[in-house]
Chains A and B, each alone.
Chain A
Amino acid sequence: MNTRKILYQYGYRRCLDQDRSSPARHPVVVVGAGPVGLCTAIDLAQRGVPVVLLDDADRIGEGSRGICYAKRTLEILDRLGAADPCLEKGVTWKIGKVFQRNDLLYAFDLLPEDGHKMPAFINLQQYYLEHALVERAAALPNLEIRWRNKVVGLKHRNDGATLTVETPEGRYDLDADWVVAADGARSALRGMLGLPFQGEAFEDRFLIADVKMKGDFPPERWFWFDPPFHEGHSALLHKQPDDVWRIDLQLGRDADAKAEQMPERVIPRLRQMLGHDDFSLEWVSVYTFQCRRLERFVHGRVVFVGDAAHQVSPFGARGANSGIQDAENLAWKLAFVLKGEAPESLIASYDLERSAAADENIGHSTRSTDFIAPRSAQELRFRDATLALARHAPFAKRMVNSGRLSMPSTYDSPLSTPDTDRWSGSAHLGAPLPDAPMRDHSGQPIWLLDAIGGEETILHVQNEAQPPVGSRVLIIGKDLVDEHGFFTQRFDAHPGSTYLVRPDQHLAARWRHAAPSLIEEASRRLRGFGEGHA
């Protein structure tokens, strides 16, 4: 049962580095071609940094897999040139429903407003995402993927690291100025450096099943507490492409993982849930989970990203989504440092910003788990009391926690220049910019985030004064026209308002009226030349 029907197979190919007498030297070697490693590699390559991406396997499509990709992740994928196939294939959804027994407790809408290019979420089997990313990577001449290249040794140097790589044709060494460890929750690199991976383990077992069927369920996230078909536990139903449905059933802590995966045990359970047996099993697994992290994500010239750096429970879709946000946070910083446009200490801000994000994700994930899988009689009482009160009092509805779905982090960061003016709207200092539909100078529709792309950008709302100067300035009212007023509202924009945007599209600074010296200072600060980054 633990094999996927769809696999993409890639081949091992001997590379020139294997025939060298001394190790070849590369600016960046990324280890692990999952979604996070692929995104890191693509982002770096797009920024002009040559990348070698190593993976110990030669195919994708195996193992327990993420299915929910959030709006911010889709925006990042779009910038990386991989969103279109995902959107085309994925199931777009934004409505979630929470049931107790058979009764609807409440429904939520994750993206209640118009004027965003990307939907709140899509569901997509992880192998489709990985496939889209591999295809995109293949189109980049400065990105080389080496399949069946397994890292078996890692040695720190002052100015980088040396990796020993095992292939079907033997071993070779590689020197890297920087190593990005994207080798997953069981990270071998983490082990090689002897780094502890600490946190909380949860005892409850969950059954995860992908079922193929033609169903009339809408593309919504349905979560049940104590459903009649699975008494005393929780259940989740979620649609994926190809008529595949993800089902997640809480089994309790005493469940026998092996027995529960047997079709003769799984099928009756699902029959009870779905009310028929007109389905086939695509994949079944029983899992427990941990919420844990590395104390630091940067160790010399080795940087940990994604599950290798931090691990969360699946509730809230915070694994792949936060990992891809790690990738985008790190890529522009590494590119700046490698090109000598920023001090090496800029990388410390990756640790700072993404550590805070990891803590936020682990916090949400742990609290969801507390609610979904209570660990004592009294925890269960509080949970059931909340569910019962939810029918009567709005406050309790807000306490019902079936997973708080992934939202991007707002960085409280030394790279940000603190606000000196008052701002309203949905743009926040340190957060990714809200998108907005605009028109370009020729009147063509363009999304704000597409116009900004991956470069440090100054957005300036036209007024009588001279526009600011910088490496890249977009003038609202000239280069971009805010036809429908979304930009004005979301950015609380007035004539003269100026915004400095980081290469990862997070807001670094803003002014009602910006003096050139302030913009220059904020730009230096964004690159880690500011205070605290000596």
Chain B
Amino acid sequence: MSTLVTESRFIDPDRAYRALIEAHRGLSEEESAALNSRLVLILANHICEHVALQEAIALAKQSMESLDTASE
């Protein structure tokens, strides 16, 4: 049974997306990467489920594979 929720949960997903975009505005590549690293750690701790974390990693990697095949 999957513990990672992939159904949409935000009432206003556009607003959540926008919050992430705004956080990165004006940052250099390196600053953005540093910010993302912090966010990943903070959110991973908040989720606090090892299985969900592993599934999130798997999902992220899976979506990269389809990117690779699309570009071939």
Contact = CB atoms under 8 A, between A and B. Distances in A.
A152 interface: no
Interface residues of B, number: 8
Contacts of B40: 382
B58 interface: no
B37 A381 contact: yes
B42 A382 contact: no
Interface residues of A, number: 13
B38 A389 contact: yes
B42 A393 contact: yes
A259 interface: no
A385 B43 CA distance: 13
A393 B39 CA distance: 12
Contacts of A384: 34, 37
A381 B33 contact: yes
Contacts of B5: none
Interface string A388-423: 110001011001000000000000000000000000
Contacts of B34: 381, 384-385
B41 A396 contact: yes
B54 interface: no
A533 B42 CA distance: 47
Nearest to A386: B41
Contacts of A389: 38, 41-42
A399 B41 CA distance: 10
Contact of B41 (A377, A378, A382): A382
B3 interface: no
Secondary structure class of chain B's binding surface, majority of residues: helix
B45 interface: yes
B33 A378 contact: yes
Contacts of A381: 33-34, 37
A388 B33 CA distance: 14
Interface in A346-361: none
Interface string B11-40: 000000000000000000000011001101
Most A CB contacts (10 A, CB to CB) among B33, B38, B45 go to B38
B45 A385 contact: no
A253 B1 CA distance: 43
A237 to B, nearest CB: 28
A451 B22 CA distance: 66
B49 to A, nearest CB: 14
A388 B38 contact: yes
A386 B45 CA distance: 12
Interface in A417-441: none
B54 to A, nearest CB: 16
Contacts of B42: 389, 393, 395
A395 B44 CA distance: 10
Contacts of B37: 378, 381-382, 384-385
A377 B45 CA distance: 22
A18 to B, nearest CB: 59
Contacts of A386: 41
Interface string A355-391: 0000000000000000000000110011011101100
A385 B37 CA distance: 6
A396 B40 CA distance: 12
A26 to B, nearest CB: 49
Contacts of A399: 41
Nearest to A381: B37
A381 B32 CA distance: 11
Nearest to B38: A385
A382 B37 CA distance: 5
Contacts of B33: 377-378, 381
A310 B54 CA distance: 28
22 contacts: A378-B33, A378-B37, A381-B33, A381-B34, A381-B37, A382-B37, A382-B40, A382-B41, A384-B34, A384-B37, A385-B37, A385-B38, A385-B41, A386-B41, A388-B38, A389-B38, A389-B42, A393-B42, A395-B42, A395-B45, A396-B45, A399-B41
Given A386-B41, A389-B42, 12 more contacts: A377-B33, A378-B33, A381-B33, A381-B34, A382-B37, A382-B41, A384-B37, A385-B34, A385-B37, A388-B38, A393-B42, A395-B42
A-B pairs with the 8 shortest C-beta distances? Answer: A385-B37, A395-B45, A381-B37, A385-B38, A382-B37, A381-B33, A385-B41, A381-B34
